[in-house]
Structure 1
Amino acid sequence: MTTWLAVAAIALAGLSVVLFTLAVRRLLTRQAEVTATMLRRYDDRLASFAQTLNDALTSFQSARPPAAPQLEDDPEPMVRALELARERTSADGAIALVTAGHGTPIVATVGLSESETNHIARMGFPDYRGARAIEVAFAGDLVAPEGEEPVRAGLVMPLLGEDEPQSLVGVLTRDRGRRFSEEDVDELQGLVQAARPPISRALNLREADVVPELDLLTNLLDRQSFSAVLEREILRARLAHHPLSLLVVDVDRLTWLNARIGILAADGVLLELAKRLRGVVHRLDYAFRLGGGRFAVVRPGSEGGDARQLFEALRAQLAENPIGDAGIVSVTGGITELLPQDDVESFASRADAALAEAKAARRGSVGVTGGGDRPSRVNGTLQIASAPEGIVLDG
């Protein structure tokens, strides 16, 4: 009996060990499964968090406003601002109009035809009545660039501040169904705020305009006015991206003429020559007497070829109509066209150099430098108003 009890105890002990071992193994397996499950869940959550973070960063980058345009050092801030305005609002064209209340108003456009530019400029400045911007519509009967639809609608707002001269900037579309949104207004307003300081400084509208003095003999603008007017016109040409040419004319053998007919009679020749010069220049040209028998004409909106035609017209006048005792008076000319790197001194010096080369080659001829012998460009992108009736300003 005792033996059977001992055997049963041993068997029970062995079974307990087996059951304990199985229990421990099962527990360890369960813990491994739990650990693996936790690790999988952790990986899934980490991946989900990474994706959420990436989506948030992408959304933030796409939603944040574009970087401020770098216009401070741009030589043509108005033109650059129009390019950016068209790009940021997905428009087909852009226009800026600024007037200082005196002088020639500046009209700058990108992507518009001359007909469209003139039509929009004639509209003048709208009454915003406190609105940030105004949407305008067009009949669609304007002459558009070849192969394109005419402008259909536009969004305009003031370009300069309230205390500045009247101005506007606008973006335009050729799409019949396009309507400008609040986002477009925000984009345009943000750009205007960034562009306003460099444009105001470049226009220099707060300073008084140049007041030219007249030459006592010829009643043309005098030498003291030449640099100031030339500097102003270089600035305007660069702001509006239009050409500028300079013609310098010198009377041939003036010293010999003084000795032959006398100083007073020679002064009469200069006076008559000035009258004939006024007769051939355009009404927007500036004619100067630089001293002695030297004259100059600054031609806004004109290239070297236009200045050459002016010189030829003056030379023909003198050849066909002798001047008193002096007879036929011969003149030699020098022409140059504004280059991107020019200042007043280099621009004028190049015209003088062209004049000197012409005199050395043959009196009565004209020398051209600085691109003046290129074919005339089509002025359909940016322009200056050519006459008071060309652009009517309301308000």
Structure 2
Amino acid sequence: MQTTELAVAAVVLAGVSLVLFVLAIRRLLLRQADVTVTMLRRYDDRLADFAQTLSDALAALQAPPAQGTPELGEDPEPMMRALELARERTRADGAIALVTGVSGTPIVATVGLSESETNHIARMGFPDYRGARAIEVSFAGDLPAPNGSPPVRAGLVLPLLEEGDAKSLLGVLTREQGRHFSEEDVDALDAVVRVARSPITRALKLREPDVVPEIDVLTNLLDRQSFQAVLEREIVRARLAGHPLSLLVLDVDRLTSLNARLGIDGADGVLNELAARLQSVVTHHLDYAFRLGGGRFAVLRPGSEAAQARELHEAFRADLARNPLVAGDAGGVSLSGGIAELVPRDDAESFAARADHALRRAKESGPGGVELDAVADQRHGTLVLHAATADHLRRA
């Protein structure tokens, strides 16, 4: 009897186990099916996203170039950017901007033109628009073109700045024989002018008063507040005139030790004497000498390259060697120097920062040294900036 009951219980248990096994297998299969469906759904979603991305990319490649408003307000070279845009928007071979400078001498900027072409077009001067939006001009003769290109055949010009600012023009030139500029070209050039006018006006300083430098009380040099304004002004002038511009930054070596040993009054006396020595070697009337604070000085040299700034530092160092400035038991006083020469993509901040970087390297090399921060000239096109004489515009 007991054996029979055990057998029945075993059978029941086996049946329950079989049912549970079947249910577990079924649940596992259902779960696997759900996972598979979820994975397939995610795959379909990702495939759809990829297809949309690919479609958008193909549409962007096939679409014509956007003619949106160019951002010129923060461009460090708005004149250059405007010329590039004008040439691109009108499918021209070259572009020119002509603006009357402060002295009345026109300033010329070009892209895609030879020097002979630039001079010839600039001598034509400013047109009399007489109410016209733009004027088309034609050229005869064979002006020397760059790299054996065909000569300039025709041009389209319109005013670049507001009438009350200065005489000006922006023009695009074509080397294509028989091409005539269309109304669409006039509209495109006019759109560039409307965007470029304000930043170019600011860059040329046509609406800003001249800088009035302030004097440092201690040294009688120009002070730190004047440095930024004079630097920005001279960068603009150098670019308009096509002249070099160099910056020499000087720093007294071991100034902290001098302050500790001589006291503030004694250290101020040393700085005052150094300023006088610096003024004695800065003899060119175009140079600006500044005290930037503490024991740091700067000399901005319009019309001078880095080599001339180095010569100035050598003259200053030679003066200190002939007549040593001894600061008590602190020993002789020396100054390290850093030099930068203006390159096309510099603004005032980057120009000064490069000179500071060179100064740091000079101080790491030992007291009294000088280093030049040499940066490759990364010009984005041919930029010609020079003066020209103005005559009346004529059809050649």
TM range, smaller chain: 0.5 to 0.7
Q: Give the whole-Å Cα distance in 1 for the aligned partners of 2:221 and 2:130.
A: 46
Deviations 1:344-380 (CA, angstroms, capped at 9, x unpaired): 55653553343133123123322344xx253x57897
**Structure 1 residue 106: deviation in Å?**
5.6
Tell me, in whole angstroms, the C-alpha distance in 1 between the residues paired with 2:96 and 2:140. Answer: 18
Residue 194 of structure 2: aligned partner: 193
Separation of aligned partners in 2, 1:301 and 1:117: 23
Q: Call closer, same or farther: CA 1:349–1:80 in 2, change over 3 Å.
A: closer
Q: 1:278 to 1:94 in 2, by over 3 A?
A: farther
Q: Is the Cα contact below 8 Å between 2:72 and 2:195 reproduced in 1?
A: no
CA distance in 1: counterparts of 2:108 and 2:317, whole angstroms: 39
Partner in structure 2 of residue 311 of structure 1 = 309
Residue 79 of structure 1 corresponds to 80
- In the alignment, is residue 91 of structure 1 matched against residue 95 of structure 2? no
Shift of 1:299: 5.7
CA–CA separation in structure 1 for the residues paired with 2:252 and 2:210:
31
Q: TM-score, normalised to structure 1's length?
A: 0.60
Where 1:367 maps in the other structure, the secondary structure is: strand
Q: 2:128 is matched by which residue type in structure 1? A: D
Alignment of 1:165-180 (within 5 A): 165-180=166-181
Structure 1 segment 139-288 matched on structure 2, within 5 A: 140=141, 142-200=143-201, 203=204, 205-213=206-214, 221-232=222-233, 246-250=247-251, 267=272, 270-279=275-284, 283=286, 286-288=288-290
The offset of 1:314, in angstroms, is 1.6
Counterpart residue type for residue 71 of structure 2: L
Change (3 A) 1:320 1:229: closer
Moved more, 93-102 or 337-346: 337-346
Are residue 69 (structure 1) and residue 79 (structure 2) matched? no
- How far the C-alpha of 1:219 sits from its partner, in A, is 7.3
Q: Give the aligned residue type for 1:171.
A: V
Q: Could you tell me how far 1:79 is from its partner in structure 2?
A: 2.8
Q: Which moved more, 1:83-92 or 1:185-194?
A: 185-194
What residue number does 1:132 align with? Answer: 133
How far the C-alpha of 1:394 sits from its partner, in A, is 6.6
Distance in 1 separating the partners of 2:270 and 2:166: 49
How far apart are residue 336 of structure 1 and its match? 4.2
Q: Structure 2 regions of 5+ residues with no counterpart? A: 1-62, 326-331
Q: CA deviation at 1:311?
A: 3.0
1-structure distance, mates of 2:231, 2:141: 40
**What do the CA deviations read for 1:299-342 (whole angstroms, capped 9, x no partner)?**
6798xxx42x1232224434666787449996421134679998
Q: Which amino acid is 1:89 matched to? A: T
User: Is the 1:318–1:330 contact (alpha carbons within 8 Å) kept by the matching residues of 2?
Assistant: no
The one-letter code sitting in structure 2 at the alignment partner of 1:314 is L
The residue type equivalent to 2:70 in the other structure is: Q
- The structure with more radius of gyration: 1
Contact 1:108 1:240 in 2 (8 A): no
Instruction: Tell me the TM-score normalized by structure 2.
Output: 0.60
Encode CA deviations 1:228-277: one digit per residue, 9 max, x unaligned.
Answer: 12344567889999997533124657897x98x99889856643532433
Q: 1:241, 1:382 within 8 Å by CA — same for their partners in 2?
A: no
Contact 1:240/1:383, CA 8 A, preserved across alignment: no
Q: In the TM superposition, what whole-angstrom CA distance separates every residue of 1:108-136 from its partner, at most 9, and x where no partner exists?
A: 32212344334434444333333322334
Question: Matched residue of 2:282: which SS?
Answer: helix
Evaluate the alpha carbon distance shift between residue 218 and residue 77 of structure 1 in structure 2; reply closer, same or farther with a 3 A threshold.
same
Secondary structure at the residue paired with 1:212? Answer: coil
Q: Matches of 2:289 and 2:122 in 1, distance apart?
A: 28
RMSD across aligned positions (CA): 4.9
User: How far is the alpha carbon of 1:82 from its aligned partner?
Assistant: 1.8
Alignment of 1:306-345 (within 5 A): 306-307=305-306, 309-318=307-316, 325-326=323-324, 331-336=335-340
Percent of matched pairs sharing the same residue: 60
Give deviations 1:27-63, integer Å, cap 9, x for gaps.
xxxxxxxxxxxxxxxxxxxxxxxxxxxxxxxxxxx9x
Contact kept in structure 1, 2:313 and 2:337, CA below 8 Å: no
Alpha carbons 2:95, 2:171 under 8 Å: kept: yes
Gaps (5+ residues) in structure 1?
Answer: 1-61
The answer to whether the 8 Å contact 1:252/1:364 transfers is: yes
Distance in 2 of aligned mates of 1:214 and 1:137: 54
| Deviation string, structure 1 residues 8-32 (Cα, Å, up to 9, x no partner) | xxxxxxxxxxxxxxxxxxxxxxxxx
- Name the CA distance, whole Å, in 1 between partners of 2:80 and 2:181: 22
Could you tell me how far apart the structure 2 residues matched to 1:317 and 1:115 are? Answer: 40
Q: Distance in 2 between matches of 1:237 and 1:168?
A: 21
2:388 maps to which residue? Answer: 391
